[in-house]
A and B are shown apart, each in its own frame.
Chain A
């Protein structure tokens, strides 16, 4: 099984490396601190600063960063997942993965592992680019504690966003392509916003990362344990159903 899994992981990593999607997702994530930097430039004007509700210092910049990352991280990881699973259908290669000594479960697990690994690595770009942008802008109010707090926030956010991608893998598999998964990503963004707006965000898994980032204000940052439990259950259900689909579904 270990040999089969190693083979599947090698195969998935190769397909991933040879595609454009790592660069697209990395660019999307790197854009977050760059856009944040533009906000900071605008916030130098006191009137604009008041309108945007951000201060033009490291605290303001990091706060903006975590809020934006809640959305861009979700988008990047969702698209990435849809592509990794959906490409087998668009390249018409799925059938070549189904009757092999390497079990389908090893292939699905390898896909998830590649997605998680790249998502984690690409997320590292966010603080790195942010430090470069903030440094270049000469933002005031630097503190190491602030940086560590932000890094912890980003880690939690990315972790939540990363595990919540499993239903997109299922959508790509059932929908036989990446477009259904991307469609679901968009629909869920709208739903997450609506749920957060009516105050039910804590009970909608995909609203949890944004709320945890403080997007809806500091008050909503502290979520009940049940919210995190809901996120875990959604992730688990997505992974199990995707695995079941690959193992049992008729491939027509």
Chain B
């Protein structure tokens, strides 16, 4: 069995009576892009802090590359790059100085690493500019440059696209994909922006109130998310009556379309069309809508919260 890049076992963090992370057990294989999805306050940042040895677990353990993480020990930090709490920089230092400082603290002996990181992130034109006057997008790039400076094998990014414009978001997404694909970097990326995680991650963990609700890859997501047949009809009442007569449970989607979630309807929508035509209530449209990650996520969270209540 390959050594996991990240492994947590029963990871728990309590602040007094508040449980921020509750028995979280995950395993991230090398080369994966692991999406860490949750609403604000779900426990993503607390988990990330424990992964990085910044916060001591109340219970359980974190292992990076098979070694147990502890804030006190040396840790595998030369193999890990990270952004926690969005990217920041020393405002009085130039972009180059910020990176040179990071290079030395990372123990990188190659003095050309800074210029390469600047080039890679498109920051060369800002090399001698004070970090305090950079745009948010460029500050984020600087944070990524710092995280990548020592060519880490594992990248832990907490909400890396916060505050970025659409072009910046695409750029970061492509960068993460490139790192995973070309360099085999393992990436754990947290976000509350669901569509972004869906586009990027090879596997997604959904957490709420510190608990892992689901862990799934893209195929599983498709399998587990609900599909619905949406039917448009001029005479909706007539169409609804016909379908009910044939034993279908019909609901409204709120946008003027009828909704069927029955497997028979989903597998053979042409039969539904024939039924309605034969009963003189022909459909004007028929389409299968796959529940997106956002809807799936919200459904999962509300089910979990309902169960907890």
Are A101 and B90 in contact, with the CB atoms below 8 A? no
In the assembled complex, the Cα of A99 lies from the Cα of B64 at a distance in Å of 12
Q: Does B278 have its Cβ within 8 Å of any Cβ on chain A?
A: no
Of the candidates A92, A101, A252, the one having the most CB atoms from chain B within 10 angstroms of its own CB is A101
Q: How far is the CB of A43 from chain B (nearest CB, A)?
A: 42
| A15 and B85 in contact, given A7-B104, A102-B105, A250-B54 (Cβ under 8 angstroms) | no
A residues contacting the other copy or chain, number (CB 8 A):
27
B72 lies within 8 A of A248 (CB): yes
Whether B54 contacts A7 by the Cβ 8 Å rule is no
Q: How far is the CB of B160 from chain A (nearest CB, A)?
A: 14
Partner of B52, one of A14, A15, A99: A99
- The 8 Å CB contact of B53, one of A19, A93, A98, is A98
Contact of A102 among B46, B88, B107 (CB under 8 A): B107
Is A96 interfacial (CB-CB < 8 Å)?
yes
Give the secondary structure class of B's interface: loop
Contacts of A250 in B (CB 8 A): 49, 54-56
C-alpha gap A252/B90 in the complex (Å): 20
Structural contact, B106 and A95, CB atoms closer than 8 A:
no
Is B146 located at the chain interface by the 8 A CB criterion? yes
B48 and chain A: residue at smallest CB distance: A95
**Contact size range, B:** 20 to 34
Stretch of B75-83, B120-128, B237-245, B264-272 that contacts chain A = B75-83
Asked if B205 lies at the interface with its beta carbon under 8 angstroms from chain A, I say no
B193 interfacial contact with A, CB 8 Å:
no
| Chain B contacts for A247, CB-based, 8 A | 71-72
Q: Does A27 contact B (CB under 8 A)?
A: no
Q: Is A251 located at the chain interface by the 8 A CB criterion?
A: yes
Tell me whether A214 is interfacial, beta carbon within 8 Å.
Answer: no
* Chain A positions within 8 Å of B97 at CB level: 14, 18
Kindly provide the distance from the CB of B66 to the nearest chain A CB, expressed in whole angstroms: 17
Q: Kindly identify, within residues 225 to 252 of chain A, every residue whose CB is under 8 Å from any CB belonging to chain B.
A: 247-248, 250-252
Are A93 and B71 in contact, CB atoms less than 8 angstroms apart? no
Task: Kindly state whether residue B172 has any CB partner on chain A within 8 Å.
Answer: no
The verdict on A23 contacting chain B, using a C-beta distance below 8 Å, is: no
How far, in angstroms, from A101 to B77 measured CA to CA in the complex? 5
Kindly state the separation between the CA atoms of A250 and B82 in the bound complex, as whole angstroms.
Answer: 17
Q: How far is the CA of A95 from the CA of B93 in the complex (A)?
A: 18
Distance of A216 from chain B, by nearest CB (Å) = 41
For A99, list chain B residues within 8 Å (CB): 52-54, 75, 77, 80, 82
Q: How far is the CB of A103 from chain B (nearest CB, A)?
A: 7
CB of B91 closer than 8 Å to a CB of A: yes
Contact A96 B146 (CB under 8 A): yes
Give complex CA distance A7, B53 in Å: 21
- Whether, in the assembled complex, A186 has its beta carbon less than 8 Å from a beta carbon of chain B, the answer is no
For window 105-124 of B, CB contacts with A under 8 Å fall at: 105-107
CA distance A250 to B74 in the complex (A): 17
Closest Cβ of chain A to B11, distance in Å, is 14
* B272: min CB distance to chain A, Å: 54
Is B101 close to A, CB under 8 A?
yes
- Structural contact, A4 and B107, CB atoms closer than 8 A: yes
Whether B106 contacts A248 by the Cβ 8 Å rule is no
Pairwise interchain contact B54-A100, C-beta atoms closer than 8 A: no
How many Å lie between the Cα of A200 and that of B106 in the bound state? Answer: 49
Residues in A151-202 with C-beta less than 8 Å from chain B: none
Please report B residues at the A interface, Cβ cutoff 8 Å: 46, 49, 52-56, 71-72, 74-75, 77-78, 80, 82, 84-85, 88-93, 97, 101-102, 104-107, 146
Give me 14 other A-B pairs in contact (C-beta within 8 A), A11-B101, A98-B52 excluded: A3-B107, A18-B90, A18-B97, A19-B92, A91-B88, A93-B89, A95-B52, A95-B84, A102-B106, A103-B74, A247-B72, A248-B56, A250-B54, A251-B55
Please name 17 pairs of A and B residues whose Cβ atoms are closer than 8 Å in the assembled complex, sorted by A. Answer: A7-B104, A11-B105, A14-B97, A15-B90, A18-B92, A92-B85, A92-B88, A93-B88, A95-B52, A96-B102, A99-B80, A101-B77, A247-B71, A247-B72, A248-B56, A250-B55, A250-B56
